[in-house]
Amino acid sequence: MADDLSKKLAAGMKAMDEGDFKKAYSSFKKLCDENPNDAECWYYKAECGNMAAGMFGAKVKDEDIIEAYNKAIELDPQCDYYESYGLYCISINKYDEAEKAFCEAAEADESRSASLYSEFAVEYFNNVMASYGEIMEDPKARAPYAKKALEYMLKALEIEPEEAKSLL
């Protein structure tokens, strides 16, 4: 059975690699129905839905993608799943949920915490700047977002705010 599942997952990933997201998504959806306790099935369903909706405008609901990521995380709370979910949340402007996911990822794999914190800071800030455009040209409007991004960069570097001020 596991061998059969591996082949079906590989076929779905191949369809994704070839850009056939409709085929890939329906195969991952079916795999989740057949293997509701397999984290990998849920993860690839989420990833495929994310790519299909983001790059190809497919009609995959945010709620369905969120549900699939959360199911994968519930079944196997690994760093990569949290990180991917966090990036997805940033892309749909769910910043609090993204922050939580990146913190969980850093906790799941402490050896990657610095890179995860800095990734959150950069992706979060870039998305905010892109989403709110001209508003962000005003330093006062930008301040709370810049502050959060900076806090995570300092966390990544293991530098306290006071030390950073003295360095600058």
Tens digit of pLDDT for each residue in 117-127?
A: 999 999 999 99
The reported pLDDT for the residue numbered 59 is 79
Count the residues in the chain. 168
Contacts of 35 (CB under 8 A, 6+ apart): 5, 41
- Predicted TM-score of the model (pTM): 0.92
Comparing CA positions, the residue from 70, 76, 86 lying closest to residue 118 is 86
- Ranges under pLDDT 50 in the chain: none
Distance between CA atoms of residues 160 and 168, nearest Å? 13
The reported pLDDT for the residue numbered 79 is 97
Q: Tokens representing 10?
A: 């590989």
What phi, psi does 35 have (nearest 5°)?
-130, 65
Q: Tokens representing 5?
A: 């599942």
The reported pLDDT for the residue numbered 103 is 98
Are the C-beta atoms of 141 and 166 separated by less than 8 Å? no
The reported pLDDT for the residue numbered 86 is 98
For the chain, give me the number of helices (H) and strands (E)? 9, 0
